[in-house]
Amino acid sequence: MTLSLAMITIDTADALPIARWWAEQTGGSIVAENEGWFVTVSLGDGQPMLAFQKVDDPTPGKNRVHLDLTTDDRKAESERLIAAGATLVAEREMPGFSWTTLADPDGNQFCVASAGDH
């Protein structure tokens, strides 16, 4: 028996606006709104879904799950995301690998690296 990743769910106080933001940033589409309490975003065939679940009290502090995203041009993509409402958390690096940590408009942190970085 094996597991397959089907969906990544993020708790939020207001699911629909943050789902719309992520759909726009990833080129995805909202496929279910469920009256704003559980909104799902399709990233395309073969990709896991993103889901945003309305909760009364999202986990305080650093989120326990975050997205690691890749792109061909980390700097340009980070600048685009910041212009779209993300905030820069930190530029990070270790020997042979660097990445940018951002937060979406709801404060959820995520990382962006260049596809060729190792």
Class of domain 1-56: alpha beta
* Prediction pTM value: 0.81
Which residues does 109 contact at the CB level (< 8 Å), separation at least 6?
62, 63, 66, 89, 101, 102, 103
Residues of the chain with CATH 3.10.180.10: 1-56, 63-118
pLDDT at 3: 66
Q: Rounded CA gap, 41 and 110, in Å?
A: 17
Burial of 114 (0-12, 13-18, 19+ CB in 10 A): middle
Give domain 63-118's CATH superfamily.
2,3-Dihydroxybiphenyl 1,2-Dioxygenase, domain 1 (3.10.180.10)
Q: In this structure, are residues 8 and 94 in contact, taking their beta carbons and an 8 Å threshold?
A: no
Which of 95, 16, 94, 90 shows the shortest CA–CA distance to 52?
16
> What confidence score (pLDDT) does residue 118 get?
47
What is the per-residue pLDDT for 116? Answer: 64
CB contact at 8 A, 63 and 55 = no
**What string of pLDDT tens digits covers the 118 residues of the chain?**
676 788 999 999 999 999 999 999 999 999 999 999 999 999 999 999 999 999 887 777 777 788 989 999 999 999 999 999 999 999 999 888 899 999 999 999 999 998 765 4
